Structure 1
Amino acid sequence: QEAQRKENEARQIEEDLRETQMRIVQAKKSYSNRFTDRSEEYSVPADDTDNDEDENRTHRKKQNFDTTGNTFAHEDMRTTTTTRDQNRTQKLGAERNNLVQRQQNADTLEDKTYRENTTDKGIDKYKTLKKIREGTVKRRIDEFEAM
């Protein structure tokens, strides 16, 4: 009785193994044929045993597995990193051009003076003035003059 139970367990494990292998084969085929619209039927060959449980299992395995539908649609719809980067650089370039045009149209005399004092020469005169007011630079200047 125990031997028969172990034999049934072994059969069940073999059936599960076959089912898993068929699913793997099916997944590979559906991945390679994901551009086709036809569905394929997969069935597991029945064993030579007359056991009711085995017949029920093989009947379940003859079901139609349709995985060609939307399984890999997310891979078809995705965009690559390089495409996204190119799109971003194009959008960034267009925004820079728009910004330059807006600045040129809306620049006042004060804006031009401020830009000359900060970004154009690479020296921030206003930052230096703030540091002088803080006292650290002022102290060094006083020490230098006291020498």
Structure 2
Amino acid sequence: MDEPPGPFRSYGVQAVPQDLRRLRHELMAWVLSAGIDEDRAQDIVLASYEALANVADHAYHGAGSGVVDLDAAVHRDRVEVVISDHGKWRIPVVDPRPVSARGRGLLLLRASADRADISSGESGTVVTLAWDLAPVRP
């Protein structure tokens, strides 16, 4: 990878499926333009999209749809994606069924990223995901 691309920023995206799918495709194009190999790019976009989907599913419950902000940057030795909402954290509801396909989003985030930090407060939730990149050779 030569010079890293400029940051990818998308603010005020409606937290609805069609807008989040568009954002996922834009993020993938940006990650690939950074020269990141496709396997790593898939991990980055998978975890990022899961965080975006969590905003749509959980952040604005009962308040209609809200917005989500995404910042991504390639640093010398890592890629970092920050996803922010302006909703309220809800404690997850336990699914009483023995096997549920739901409720594994945070596990997926942590398994797909090298680092995943989640902080919630009165002004919303911020998910910071990071992936280490192989050192750039001169």
Do both proteins adopt the same fold according to a TM-score greater than 0.5, normalized to the shorter chain?
no
Q: TM-score by structure 2 length?
A: 0.24
Q: Which of structures 1 and 2 has the bigger CA Rg?
A: 1
- With CA pairs under 8 Å and 6+ residues apart, which has the higher RCO, 1 or 2? 2
Q: Which has the higher strand share?
A: 2
